[in-house]
């Protein structure tokens, strides 16, 4: 009885094709199939992440901030004039209060801080209302010097009034009714007041007066640059 003849298997377990040639294994497939992302090392450049760019509305950069706050020169000058009058009166009152009128001649105390305060007050008014205007700084410096000068003269008028009042009280006999007021000395006898002030003034007096315009310009500059 005959047996069915079977073709022997080739080493390696590959099935035979017709014609006696072994069947070749298929190349390995990449994960994900067709269209998957390329892996590094296959010749394809990798996309680099880009930094986000700032976006502006409408494609235009934001407008630049304004250069400075606009001021009102007329209002600044008016406020500086009011500060000049108030500062001159305060300076005169302080000068009279610090003088010793009981002595003969009266002793007048000079001080620098009053002129600095008056100048700073005028510089503040100019800078707050006038903005960054160097022309107004010059106006403020002139008004500060005028305020100290008027304060000196009116303060001396107040001192002379106190001296005459003290003398009238000593001699009696209704002499107090003949005493001139501070306003009368300042307005009606200004030339005599001017001569008296010049005789009593010294270099220190003018130095203290010069501090007022310096303080006015310095204050205006600092406030305007804030």
Q: Please determine, for residue 19, whether its predicted confidence score (pLDDT) is greater than 50.
A: no
What pLDDT is attached to residue 110? 80
What pLDDT is attached to residue 67? 53
Answer whether 215's CB lies under 8 Å from 207's CB: no
Q: Give, in degrees to the nearest 5, the angle at Cα 110 between 108 and 113.
A: 145
Q: Which of 6 and 118 is assigned the larger pLDDT?
A: 118
What pLDDT is attached to residue 141? 97
Confidence of residue 226 (pLDDT cuts 50, 70, 90): confident
Q: Please determine, for residue 108, whether its predicted confidence score (pLDDT) is greater than 60.
A: yes
Answer whether 101's CB lies under 8 Å from 44's CB: no
Q: Which of 223 and 59 is assigned the larger pLDDT?
A: 223
Report d(CA 125, CA 219) in Å as an integer.
10
Answer whether 97's CB lies under 8 Å from 193's CB: no
Q: Please determine, for residue 28, whether its predicted confidence score (pLDDT) is greater than 70.
A: no
- The answer to whether the predicted template modeling score (pTM) of the entire model surpasses 0.85 is no
What pLDDT is attached to residue 1? 47
Mean local confidence (pLDDT), 211-220 = 96
Mean local confidence (pLDDT), 175-204 = 92
Report d(CA 11, CA 32) in Å as an integer.
33
Report d(CA 7, CA 1) in Å as an integer.
19
Q: Give, in degrees to the nearest 5, the angle at Cα 123 between 70 and 89.
A: 135
Q: What is the mean pLDDT of the chain?
A: 80
Mean local confidence (pLDDT), 176-180 = 85
Report d(CA 81, CA 87) in Å as an integer.
10
What pLDDT is attached to residue 93? 96
Nearest to 120 by CA among 223, 206, 225: 223
Q: Please determine, for residue 4, whether its predicted confidence score (pLDDT) is greater than 80.
A: no
Confidence of residue 118 (pLDDT cuts 50, 70, 90): very high
Mean local confidence (pLDDT), 190-199 = 94
Mean local confidence (pLDDT), 141-154 = 97
Mean local confidence (pLDDT), 38-63 = 53
Mean local confidence (pLDDT), 46-50 = 57
């Amino acid at each position: 009885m005959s047996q069915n003849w079977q073709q022997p298997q080739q080493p390696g377990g590959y099935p035979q094709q017709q014609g006696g040639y072994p069947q070749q294994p298929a190349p390995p497939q990449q994960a994900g199939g067709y269209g998957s992302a390329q892996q590094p090392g296959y010749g394809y450049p990798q996309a680099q992440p880009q930094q986000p760019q700032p976006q502006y509305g409408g494609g235009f950069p934001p407008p630049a901030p304004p250069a400075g706050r606009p001021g009102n020169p007329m209002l600044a000058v008016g406020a500086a004039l009011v500060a000049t009058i108030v500062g001159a009166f305060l300076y005169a009152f302080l000068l009279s209060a610090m003088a010793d009128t009981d002595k003969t001649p009266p002793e007048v105390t000079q001080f620098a801080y009053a002129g600095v305060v008056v100048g700073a007050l005028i510089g503040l008014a100019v800078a707050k209302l006038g903005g960054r205007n160097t022309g107004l700084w010059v106006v403020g410096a002139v008004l500060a010097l005028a305020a100290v000068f008027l304060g000196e003269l009116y303060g001396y008028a107040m001192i002379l009034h106190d001296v005459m009042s003290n003398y009238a009280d000593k001699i009696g006999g209704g002499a107090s009714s003949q005493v001139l007021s501070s306003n009368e000395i300042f307005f009606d006898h200004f030339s005599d007041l001017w001569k008296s002030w010049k005789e009593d003034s010294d270099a220190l007096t003018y130095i203290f007066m010069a501090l007022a315009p310096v303080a006015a310009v310095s204050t205006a500059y600092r406030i305007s640059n804030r």
